[in-house]
Structure 1
Amino acid sequence: MSLDFGEPDERLLPFAASHSESLRSIYSEMHDVKSEVVITDHNSHSMGDSLDRYVDMRVDGDLLDWAKRENLSVGVEGIYPNHLGDAIRAGSLTPLVSATRRRRWANGIRALYARSSGDRLMVFVAPGRDYVIHNAELIASYMQRRNDSIQTVTYYPKAESSVATWTRLLGFQLDRLVIIGYSDLLLQLLLHRGASIESRQENEYYVVVRARFAGGASFTLLSVRFSYWGSMARHLASSLLRAGAETILYCAKLGTIDPGRSPYDGLYIPTRYFIGGQSGRSYEVVAPMNPVAEAFPALATGPHLTVATMMRETRELVSSARSLHICSVDNEIGEIAYAFAAEGAGRGFSAIHFATDSPAGLGDQRSRSSDLTTSRTSRDRASRDRSLDEVANVLFDFLRMY
């Protein structure tokens, strides 16, 4: 295995020039969350034998194996990779990447692996609590198969709660209606349906496009360049509400647990929201106004479950969710609904999603064609494009009425 050492390629990883004092402050409080990391065996997971393959696709196994040979401890930290410029330039961190991962070694979504000045391999990810735990569980699962274990998992709560501040979200002009999720792809589909662009703004964290249909109100498509997986989605939604958003439409993908439906079979517009807690028990969130479901009631799909990480999607969980007539599962929808319950009274939230996988319950046959390891095949990409076209049709009809 070959490793790349030294200064990062700035074209691949545009590190911030320096830490301002305000940026340092968001990492001033740290929580040890290693005790929350759960390793789920593939025999009980909804993906079955494909779980190990999924983990191998998501971690840099070559680097983790190298760390074991070098007797390096491994830790995961919720520090946004682009905030590490000072530490890298000072030499206290050395970015690492295996040759097999060279092309996608780091960005705002994926993890940055770096050797610290001590005998440690650190994995840095965007600072959402759920995302930190998700990555830690991926790595812990990989390491357990090699009789090894993760040493530290650190979360910085101020970095997550102040996301609007350090990403400068509130500096953008936003409309009363904001679309998040597949915003960049949906923009092109809406332009083909007659929308026109009024303005485009961006920074290293967002692309903000304001558009409208003739005779209609303007709307904002917000493309996010960092991971707002899980709990971070709640903080992002809260920030948008504080910025004046009256309606948020979240358009993305989920997993179907409806035995009668397959991936890419129609759309999902949930109307009830459950969140799976760390204890394994779920609780229901007070549902906000759902303007798309109200406009098109035939498209409503009922209860939905949000979990912190797909690593927790066990067969038992799926079967339990089905007993509550829950038909879909993801990592963000319930968290966004939670933000509305807390501070979005009288405002509207709709999720317009399509399914890309089908987690199995107890007694279900496991099919690799319906799990998260196949989403990059040409067949799946074509199915995704058709589903995005369905989402765009719903948006087109809704936005003309808005």
Structure 2
Amino acid sequence: MIDLIHILPLEFLYHYFEDFSPKTHMAMAHLLLEDEKYCNWVKGLKKTGVKIVLDNSAPYLGRSIDNDKFMRCIDLVNPDEIVLPDEINSFESTKTRTLNFLDSFETKDICTIAVPQGATLDEYIECYQLFSSNSQIDKIGISYTVDNLFVNEGLPERFVTARHYLIHILVEKGLINPNKDHHLLGFGNSATLEIRALREYEFITRADSNTAFKLAKHDLPICIDKGYEKPKSKFSFDEAFDNFVYSRFENWAKILELAGREIHQPFVISDVNTHTMEDGLYKYLEIKMHQKIREHDYKKIIVIGEFNRREAVSISNFEKNDKQFNWQRPTCLELDDTLLVLCAPGLDYVQHYASLISSYLALQNRKSDHVRYVLPTVKKKETFIEESNLSSIKTSDVVILGTGLEQLFGATGWNVEGGSFGYKQIKIDDNAATVIGCKFSYWGDISRSVVKQLAKQGVKKVIYSGKLGGMKASMRPNRQLATGDKSFVEGKIVGWNNIFAGLDDETIVEGLHYTSPSIMFEDKEWLALNLKYGFVDPEIGQMALAANEAGIEFSYLHVISNNLAELHPEDLSNERNERVQRKRELLYQRIYAILEQTLSQ
């Protein structure tokens, strides 16, 4: 995976950080000395925890600013990393300036990035070996300005750029130092293709580029799998802000970032008779589909983990706006002939939604093999929850999570302002509890991050009240409750102490649970392989893992909403049915009574 730092004119840069809060900024040395506002802004970023990479400005000046000025920049902003002095295509000057700087600089707390240069391939290789073996140098930067190395021989057809060919040569000769991260400095033509070609190398971890901005400024398209010619106009940091260019930049930035990620093909159900829902699957999929997917065909549909409800995106027309929680659906963004589907950043949720879309299209006899998904990192998922308003909720020792919370605890008295999570402080038989709902679906492994965050806030017990699928023919949807103390998750059985165990209540069924990332995976073949399990849903095992890791209590009490082992009139496709809602109202009353009984003990 290659992380991307975007280089932007200053007015665009300020907007970008305000809108998206990226975690890394590449600061330009010459601008720190020339622009006091920018310098103070970078200092402010540093105080908020943004990683500052100080560039020596060689790409914009032809060579690095002199060492004394560079040292002054280091003193001004105290960067986390610095790109050591170099001069484009000059071996001797780069070697001398880099090594002289290292001799005079104490680098204990600052990561150093050296940039090999050379007028010929032999010079470049010598410079690379010198820097990659130097213990004072932490990372290697590889500039895109290496076309001169292959002027005479040209590039073999299978290589996208000169840098692509150069890295191949270094790898083939056994010269690459894989123990040092490599940073791609800038891009020329066809950045998306070069990123896709180079992401196979694990030692390449990051890149920076002004490509997205330059293409946006000139209103030129970019595609994840097509080459392009980058405009040769000079880049200016003083460019006046323009809303159209900025909006276009946002879109092209996403395409570039996607190029650095591994792209997966989803699991597809193309025949409803192979799935446990059979004909009910048609309706279930239809109610999940965004209008863009229902009404239009695209060359590509890519599902990504990015929660975005800003003006530029298309909100689903089918969101359930008659309730406070679990109503926000994934949004869409059209990029020419590509549709990005933007989900809350969970690994399970992204692959689940990609499978929903591809299966929906396949069952409609439409093209479905163009749907792909890109998994978010675990770090992105956890940061998403950590930076949400969940962390600002003052909780009791007991927190109740789930669905149907308004039916359980009443529709009034909720605090739903200030973010995705809403809450209500309650007392059940004089026992204080905080009930927390969420506007989006914290599907699958996102729920693990939710419980992890609650544990950090001092919560001692998490109770999860939602819905799940029954896997035994005897289980009756919307008439029984499910609980248990074990779940199969991520290849193992996880257990916990269940506060609802052994209750004398005919509505409760106890059983072994299976944590499945997606309903789409629960076909008849899957069911036949998992007959020992009683229940299935995406969250229970994930929450239990987080609770066990944090040393807090966890239990669940769920409505059995559907039956995978035997077809019933009531399933996941008709949950909004009035008769189903009446039955669930009775079960919610029973859940409340059971909570009174167990929390008072």
Q: What TM-score does the superposition give when structure 1 sets the normalisation length?
A: 0.77
Residue in 2 that maps onto 1:205: 420
- Answer whether contact 2:407 2:585 (CA < 8 A) is retained: no
Taking the aligned partners of 1:248 and 1:23, their CA distance within structure 2 comes to 35
1:173 aligned onto 2:394: yes
Taking the aligned partners of 1:51 and 1:376, their CA distance within structure 2 comes to 15
1:115 aligned onto 2:334: yes
Residue in 1 that maps onto 2:578: 378
Aligned equivalent of 1:131, options 318, 324, 349: 349
Taking the aligned partners of 2:375 and 2:598, their CA distance within structure 1 comes to 39
Taking the aligned partners of 1:135 and 1:269, their CA distance within structure 2 comes to 27
Residues 327 and 155 (structure 1), Cα distance of their counterparts in 2 relative to 1, 3 Å cut: same
Taking the aligned partners of 1:306 and 1:180, their CA distance within structure 2 comes to 17
Residue in 2 that maps onto 1:337: 544
> How big is the shift at 1:320?
2.7
Give per-residue Cα distances to partners, 1:321-352, cap 9 Å, x unaligned.
22x2x2111111111112123x133x211100
Taking the aligned partners of 2:519 and 2:427, their CA distance within structure 1 comes to 36
SS at the partner of 1:124?
Answer: strand
Give per-residue Cα distances to partners, 1:20-79, cap 9 Å, x unaligned.
3459989989743524x211232221011222332122113x5235432xx542221211
- Answer whether contact 1:75 1:123 (CA < 8 A) is retained: yes
- Answer whether contact 2:307 2:345 (CA < 8 A) is retained: yes
Taking the aligned partners of 1:357 and 1:259, their CA distance within structure 2 comes to 11
Aligned equivalent of 1:146, options 336, 341, 366: 366
Residues 213 and 64 (structure 1), Cα distance of their counterparts in 2 relative to 1, 3 Å cut: closer
- Answer whether contact 1:172 1:201 (CA < 8 A) is retained: no
1:301 aligned onto 2:510: yes
> How big is the shift at 1:394?
0.7
Residues 296 and 219 (structure 1), Cα distance of their counterparts in 2 relative to 1, 3 Å cut: farther
- Answer whether contact 1:114 1:121 (CA < 8 A) is retained: yes
SS at the partner of 1:293?
Answer: coil
Residue in 1 that maps onto 2:20: 19
> How big is the shift at 1:201?
6.9
1:188 aligned onto 2:401: no
Give per-residue Cα distances to partners, 1:287-328, cap 9 Å, x unaligned.
122223267698460211110010011122223322x2x211
Identity over aligned pairs, percent:
23
1:290 aligned onto 2:509: no
Aligned Cα root-mean-square deviation (Å): 3.1
Give per-residue Cα distances to partners, 1:104-147, cap 9 Å, x unaligned.
6xx9631212212x322221111111111111001111223313
Residues 233 and 65 (structure 1), Cα distance of their counterparts in 2 relative to 1, 3 Å cut: closer
> How big is the shift at 1:101?
4.3
- Answer whether contact 2:302 2:372 (CA < 8 A) is retained: yes
SS at the partner of 1:274?
Answer: strand
Taking the aligned partners of 2:376 and 2:386, their CA distance within structure 1 comes to 15
Taking the aligned partners of 1:244 and 1:150, their CA distance within structure 2 comes to 45
Residues 207 and 258 (structure 1), Cα distance of their counterparts in 2 relative to 1, 3 Å cut: same
Residues 202 and 219 (structure 1), Cα distance of their counterparts in 2 relative to 1, 3 Å cut: farther
Residue in 1 that maps onto 2:272: 42
SS at the partner of 2:20?
Answer: coil
Taking the aligned partners of 1:147 and 1:164, their CA distance within structure 2 comes to 35
Residues 344 and 267 (structure 1), Cα distance of their counterparts in 2 relative to 1, 3 Å cut: same
Residues 296 and 18 (structure 1), Cα distance of their counterparts in 2 relative to 1, 3 Å cut: farther
Taking the aligned partners of 1:269 and 1:38, their CA distance within structure 2 comes to 29
Taking the aligned partners of 1:230 and 1:200, their CA distance within structure 2 comes to 25
SS at the partner of 1:273?
Answer: strand
Residue in 1 that maps onto 2:534: 327
Residues 172 and 148 (structure 1), Cα distance of their counterparts in 2 relative to 1, 3 Å cut: closer
> How big is the shift at 1:378?
0.9
- State which structure, 1 or 2, has the greater radius of gyration over its C-alpha atoms: 2
Aligned equivalent of 2:460, options 240, 246, 251: 246
1:79 aligned onto 2:306: yes
Residues 297 and 337 (structure 1), Cα distance of their counterparts in 2 relative to 1, 3 Å cut: farther
- Worse overlay, 307-316 or 263-272: 263-272
Taking the aligned partners of 2:315 and 2:472, their CA distance within structure 1 comes to 42
SS at the partner of 2:466?
Answer: strand
- Answer whether contact 1:285 1:338 (CA < 8 A) is retained: no
Aligned equivalent of 2:375, options 155, 158, 167: 155
- Answer whether contact 1:200 1:210 (CA < 8 A) is retained: no
Taking the aligned partners of 2:357 and 2:330, their CA distance within structure 1 comes to 11
Unpaired runs of 5+ residues, structure 1, are: 1-15, 89-93, 192-196, 278-282
Residue in 2 that maps onto 1:10: none
Aligned equivalent of 2:558, options 335, 353, 358: 353
Aligned residue pair count:
346
1:52 aligned onto 2:246: no
- Answer whether contact 1:77 1:154 (CA < 8 A) is retained: yes
Residues 102 and 127 (structure 1), Cα distance of their counterparts in 2 relative to 1, 3 Å cut: closer
Taking the aligned partners of 1:96 and 1:300, their CA distance within structure 2 comes to 39
Taking the aligned partners of 2:320 and 2:425, their CA distance within structure 1 comes to 32
Q: Which has the higher strand share?
A: 1
Taking the aligned partners of 1:130 and 1:80, their CA distance within structure 2 comes to 14
1:63 aligned onto 2:278: no
Taking the aligned partners of 2:294 and 2:577, their CA distance within structure 1 comes to 28
Taking the aligned partners of 1:371 and 1:336, their CA distance within structure 2 comes to 24
Taking the aligned partners of 2:18 and 2:426, their CA distance within structure 1 comes to 33
Residue in 2 that maps onto 1:234: 448
Residues 256 and 32 (structure 1), Cα distance of their counterparts in 2 relative to 1, 3 Å cut: same
SS at the partner of 2:520?
Answer: helix
Letter in 1 for 2:351: I
Taking the aligned partners of 2:587 and 2:474, their CA distance within structure 1 comes to 18
Residue in 1 that maps onto 2:600: 400
- Answer whether contact 2:401 2:437 (CA < 8 A) is retained: yes
Q: What TM-score does the superposition give when structure 2 sets the normalisation length?
A: 0.53
